[in-house]
Amino acid sequence: MHWAPIEKQPQSWAVRPNLLDYAVTCADFSWDDVRREFAGLPGGRGFNIAHEAVDRHAAGPRRDHLALRWLGSDDTVRDFTYGELKSQTSRCANLLTGLGLGKGDTVAVLADRIPELYIAALGTLKNTSVFCPLFSAFGPEPVCQRLRRGDARVLVTTERQYRHKVAPFRATLPRLQHILLVDAPDHGSDGLLSWSRLMAEAADSFVIPPTDPEDVAVLHFTSGTTGMPKGALHVHQAALIHYITGRYVLDFHPDDVFWCTADPGWVTGTSYGIIAPLLHGITNLVDEADFDATRWCRILETQRVSVWYTAPTAIRRFMRLGVEPVRSYDLSRLRVIHSVGEPLNPEAVVWGEKALGLPIHDNWWQTETGGIMIANFPALEIRPGSMGRPLPGIQAAIVRRTGPDSVELIADPEAHGDLALRPGWPSMFRGYLHDEERYRACFVGGWYLTGDLARRDGDGYFWFVGRADDIIKTSGHMVGPFEVESTLMEHPAVVEAGVIGKPDPLIGELVKAFVTIKPGIEASDELRLELIGFARKRLGAAVAPKEIEFQANLPKNKAGKIMRRLLKARELGLPEGDLSTLEKSE
Ligand code: AMP
């Protein structure tokens, strides 16, 4: 690999962290002060993420600064300055306007981490349409379900993704009007359009329409325990959180090169893999390739990465490389490392110090919060194993439900409870698309209940305990057991299925399914493999079960619901807990 290193910056590398005194910063903090740092759209026409992330810099001294460096799997490099990013995203916005898309229309993108994904995301925001990323490792079922539920009118994708995942189901997607293929040289039949041709024809300047800070900007699907995925709606002013966490948590400084390894198919890859670094006018690095520890070391070295945002599964994989091989790279530019998505084990924090010369900071947030809420801050003491303390401006607490609409605060530093946030921060989700009831149910007694269990120690550090529901976190990706169960039950041999997350030392949890098959069918290894293949084809490798176990009966409660909690306890050899609701026939 021979990527050109990013030009050496004249800055002294001994920078002062942006947040030095946590208590003082919290005491002085106001969202209005953050808001005042943005001029907004010219002529007082509102607040648009793409203006703040791209056009604002392109119109000022950062015009020729490297905004996006893309590293291709085949070692190709594509660079975009802020000026170039402005032209490209304006072309995309014009292209969408030309197709009749405007405010509130959904543009879905199903692609690997290619430059067009980033241009489409920002162009969509410019056009005041709604960007909806779809993870490229999803199979046809999760993809089509999200396109349908998200009312997508345009899909930006590649030939391969389209043919395999969307084309066979096109008839079930009546609202999907245009498919833009980034690798098609010319337009085809069936409403298939060539992205490159339309981009070449579109003008490279665009006036962003008036944008209300509360206009919906991004639609992120996240899995639930029951029912189909939930579409969390985020608004333009969510960028205030991306901006302020860029300053206080990721500690951005003007000459930073930032690398967020998350895929934009997940919220981290959008909020931090696209928006936050650009809001700060710094260089954002994107690697197209999948994880490879040696490649990652080379990227960190040659690209002179100074701030790195990654995930526990990646760090655990990295740890396998050993301390010495990592130390043989010159990582002297690296200043801040953060991790999110799953519990970061204390050994990983300590390993970071040995191998990378820096501790790894854990932080916590979720799709619904839109941005980082709890973090270990660079200038503060790290408590390995803890998620850290709330961001200034964020009120977090541990609560216990006391009634249908009431909670009480838990002050005991040893006690576990529901992790709750006081509603009202700018990036809070504004709804679940088409599911007002589910949205309302998240707010109890004046708090947003996150679905996580945690505790808060005497010094205000939060410690993750687990999920309050059956959601699975595998390689940092959320998987809803219901989606997997529904797919398995489409197989003719399956009567019912119960799916759990089985703890795994590398990927956090692996998806395991317990399956009851029809009488007369043999529970063989062939069938097991067939079911795994069946699920993979439909759901994609990121979601499909890795293990399947046949069981004559699955434990159910009196309402006939499979008790995943019990399946998990039995799998782990843990106490079975309260069995009063277990149906006797089990
Ligand atoms: P997602 O909405 O896919 O980003 O997943 C959010 C969920 O991931 C949270 O509700 C937690 O269950 C988990 N999570 C995120 N960050 C952390 C962390 N630092 N430690 C433990 N769990 C985390």
pLDDT tens track for 127-144:
999 999 999 999 999 999
Token representation of residue 493: 């041999």
pLDDT over 90 for what percent of the chain?
Answer: 87
Q: Please state, in angstroms and rounded to a whole number, the distance separating the CA atoms of residues 360 and 343.
A: 12
Q: In angstroms, what is the span from residue 308 Cα to ligand 1's centroid? A: 18
Q: Does residue 251 register a pLDDT over 90?
A: yes
Q: In angstroms, what is the span from residue 278 Cα to ligand 1's centroid? A: 24
**HEC sequence for 97-159:** HHCCCCCCCEEEEECCCCHHHHHHHHHHHHCCCEEEEECCCCCHHHHHHHHHHCCEEEEEECH
The pLDDT confidence band at residue 8, using thresholds 50, 70 and 90, is: very low
Check if 345 has its Cβ closer than 6 Å to any atom of ligand 1: no
| Nearest residue (CA) to ligand 1, atom 9 | 366
User: What is the number of the ligand 1 atom nearest to the C-alpha of 387?
Assistant: 19
Encode pLDDT of 485-516 as tens digits.
999 999 999 999 999 999 999 999 999 999 99
What is the tally of helices (H) and strands (E) in the chain?
Answer: 20, 27
Lowest mean pLDDT among 7-16, 47-56, 98-107, 113-122: 7-16
Query: In terms of Cα–Cα distance, which of 273, 215, 212 is closest to 246?
Result: 273
pLDDT over 70 for what percent of the chain?
Answer: 97
Q: Please state, in angstroms and rounded to a whole number, the distance separating the CA atoms of residues 49 and 125.
A: 7
Whether 217 contacts 49, CB under 8 Å: yes
Q: Please state, in angstroms and rounded to a whole number, the distance separating the CA atoms of residues 506 and 484.
A: 21
**448 φ, ψ (degrees, to nearest 5):** -90, 120
Q: How far is CA 103 from CA 47, 100, 178, 338, in A?
A: 14, 10, 17, 35
Whether 469 contacts 496, CB under 8 Å: no
Pocket test for ligand 1, best of 270, 310, 365 (most atoms within 8 A of CB): 365
**63 φ, ψ (degrees, to nearest 5):** -50, -45
C-alpha 289 chain-centroid distance: 17
Q: In angstroms, what is the span from residue 250 Cα to ligand 1's centroid? A: 17
Q: Given this model, what pLDDT does residue 11 score? A: 41
Q: Does residue 6 register a pLDDT over 90?
A: no
Q: Does residue 1 register a pLDDT over 50?
A: no
Check if 366 has its Cβ closer than 6 Å to any atom of ligand 1: yes
Encode pLDDT of 348-379 as tens digits.
888 999 999 999 999 999 999 999 999 999 88
Radius of gyration from C-alpha coordinates of the chain: 24
Give the Cβ contact number of residue 536 at 10 Å.
17
Residue of 88 and 227 predicted with greater confidence: 88
Q: In angstroms, what is the span from residue 366 Cα to ligand 1's centroid? A: 5
Q: Does residue 5 register a pLDDT over 60?
A: no
Q: Please state, in angstroms and rounded to a whole number, the distance separating the CA atoms of residues 261 and 288.
A: 10
State mean pLDDT over 110-119. Answer: 98
Check if 232 has its Cβ closer than 6 Å to any atom of ligand 1: no
Beta-bridge mates of residue 478: 473
Q: Given this model, what pLDDT does residue 585 score? A: 55
Query: In terms of Cα–Cα distance, which of 129, 131, 157 is closest to 143?
Result: 157
Pocket test for ligand 1, best of 364, 373, 479 (most atoms within 8 A of CB): 364
Q: In angstroms, what is the span from residue 164 Cα to ligand 1's centroid? A: 31
| Nearest residue (CA) to ligand 1, atom 6 | 366
**Full set of structural domains in the chain with CATH:** 46-291 (3.40.50.12780), 393-467 (2.30.38.10), 472-572 (3.30.300.30)
Q: In angstroms, what is the span from residue 340 Cα to ligand 1's centroid? A: 7
Residue 133 is inside which H or E element, if any? strand 130-134
